[in-house]
Amino acid sequence: MNAIYQGVVRHERPGKHRLRYRVFMLALDLDALPTRLRLFAHNRFDLLSLHDRDHANRNNTPIKPQIETKLREVGIAWSGGRIVLLTMPRLFNYVFNPLSVYFCYRPNGALAAIVHEVSNTFGERGFYALAATRSENGVVLQRCAKDFFVSPFLEMDLSYEFRIIPPGEQASIAMIVRRGENIALTASFAGARAALTDANILRAWAAHPLMTLKVIAGIHWEALKMWLKGVRYLGRRGGSKADQPSIAS
C-alpha cells in the first residue's frame, strides 16, 4: 500500500483569489512502514522521513493507537484494521502539513472512517474523525462544522464538506468550506500513484527540491496577496468559537 502521489494543490476563493502548485505526498500503511529504502526513514533523518512526533498527539509513541483512540472517542466502532496515512513527509528534516488524512479500514478491507488532521501556522492541531461510506462511484462524502482555527481570513461559523477518492491509482482530497449555502473556499489535492521506491523518491525530490519550505512560505505569501486584494482580515480568532484543537464527528 505504501506509495508516492505526485499532483497538484489548488485553492480558490470565488471571485477573490486562487492558487495552484505542485507537490507530492506519501501514502503510508502504519502497520507496514518501509524499512528497506535508502532515502526514506522512520523516526530518523533521511532525505524523506516520517516522525511519530509530527502527528497525532505530538509525542514519540506510535501514531496508529492514537488515531484508534480518536475513532473510539467519537463513537466510531473500531475492531482493528489497516490505517493508511496520506501526508507530506519531512524533507531534509523539515515539514509543515496543513492537512494529513488517515484512512481507517476494517479487517475485511472496507473503509470505516477518515480522520482529518488539520494544522495551522500557530503550531496548533485539530482533528475531524468522521465515519466514511463510499458512494457507487467510489467517492467518499463527509460533512462537519468547523471548530478549529486555521486562517485569519475565515471566520469560525462555517462548515466543511469533504469529497475524497481514497488512495488507489489516484488519490484526491477536496475540502469545500461553506458559509451557509455559499462557498467560501475550495481546497484540493489530486495526485497519481507511483511505487514508493528510492528511484521514485529521488525523482519526486528533484521535481520539488524545497517543497516543504515552499508550502510554509507560500501560505504567508498568499496571505499577503489576499490582504493586498482587500480580502477581509479577521484576526487570530476569526470568529466567535474558541480556536482550540478538537475532535468532531
pLDDT digits (tens, 9 = 90+) for 101-139: 999 999 999 999 999 999 887 788 999 999 998 887 889
Above pLDDT 90, what percent of the chain? 61
Whether 28 is covered by a domain: the verdict is: yes
What distances in angstroms separate CA 19 from CA 8, 57, 65, 157, one per listed residue? Answer: 10, 31, 36, 24
Range from 71-75, 176-180, 213-217 carrying the lowest mean pLDDT: 213-217
In the chain, beta strands by DSSP E: 3-13, 17-29, 40-42, 48-50, 83-87, 90-91, 99-105, 111-119, 125-131, 140-145, 159-165, 170-179, 182-195, 247-248
pLDDT score recorded for residue 242: 35
Task: Record the cell numbers describing residue 137, joined without a space.
Answer: 462511484
pTM of structure: 0.87
pLDDT score recorded for residue 46: 96
Domain that holds residue 148: 3-229
**Phi and psi at residue 224, in whole multiples of 5°?**
-60, -45
* Rounded CA separation 81/17 (Å): 41
Whether 234 is covered by a domain: the verdict is: no
Range from 42-56, 90-104, 226-240 carrying the lowest mean pLDDT: 226-240
pLDDT score recorded for residue 29: 98
Whether 102 is covered by a domain: the verdict is: yes
* Rounded CA separation 75/217 (Å): 38
The total of structural domains in the chain comes to 1
Q: What is the mean pLDDT of the chain?
A: 86
Whether 245 is covered by a domain: the verdict is: no
Examine the pLDDT at 238 and tell me if it is beyond 50: no
Burial class (CB in 10 A: 0-12, 13-18, 19+), 117: buried
